[in-house]
Amino acid sequence: MRPFLIVLACLIIGVALRSCRTLFLRKLGALTFLVASFLTFFFAFGSLAAGLIGAGLWFFLPWIDLLTRIRRMKLPLSKRLNLATPPSEEHFPNAARLIREIEEAEFDHVADSGWDWSGMQQFFRFYWNPEAKAVAAVCLCEHEQVAFAFVTVSSRAPDGRSIHTTNYPFSPTLKHAPGAYWDHLPCERNCFEAIYQDHQKHLQKRGIDPGQLLMPDPDEVLDQVEEEMKRQIDHNLRCGLIQVIDERYFRYSVKGLVFLWIQSIKDMIRLC
């Protein structure tokens, strides 16, 4: 009974820590689950190697979804943004606050649109500020029972580079195209003023003078988003992460599945 009680104690401690509000304690709780897995295999097989394998199994869990659902998905080669009405604010408690903060920063509303990306419904509300020469977008995502909102601030350099700063909570599922530079902030960074300040720092890090930014055209915002997505898909085709099925669809290659697995591991470590 002694090994069983030790593992049970680890699980109880892990559940308690995961219930805490402090990020450090929650991460410590996730680490406790790894210890419990290690001890389970160690006591069962009496081997240190078996314990390490038991702990490592957590990092291979994403392959269940990758091999059963993702591998069979057919994704469109070209995505068109369509005019859309905003979803209910009840599903996105932070959306109204983010929109209010953007409007208070003197960004003007441009358009509402959305698309369906591999089963995830995404609604975009675009804003622009001619003085800042920047475009801001609030994105509301809904996938199965999960709903969340995030903000992206974008600018264009004189040489055509696109600079983006976002608090999107997950790692990207495709490689970014050359000339597109993204700064992914922690999802806890959910105040628009702070995100915009980080965007200014991102511009400085890239050696771009804010006064030399290209003036965005509010009538072409949607077209630019679609064009950048097309360049990203073309880039990933050249990298071999995705492969064309027919003239309209693509799917992830084996190399692409490995890329998604690595991204999943990053999210597990960062978001646990």
Output the DSSP codes for 164-233: EEE--SS--SSPPPTTEEEEE--TT---HHHHHHHHHHHHHHTT--GGGPPPP-GGGHHHHHHHHHHHHH
Q: Is the pLDDT of residue 122 over 90?
A: no
What are the C-alpha distances in Å from 106 to residues 101, 123, 202, 217? 9, 21, 21, 16
Q: Is the pLDDT of residue 88 over 70?
A: no
* Mean of all residue pLDDT scores within the chain: 89
Q: Is the pLDDT of residue 107 over 70?
A: yes
Q: Is the pLDDT of residue 14 over 70?
A: yes
What burial class does residue 94 get, using C-beta atoms within 10 Å of its C-beta: 0-12 exposed, 13-18 middle, 19+ buried? middle
Mean pLDDT of 68-89: 80
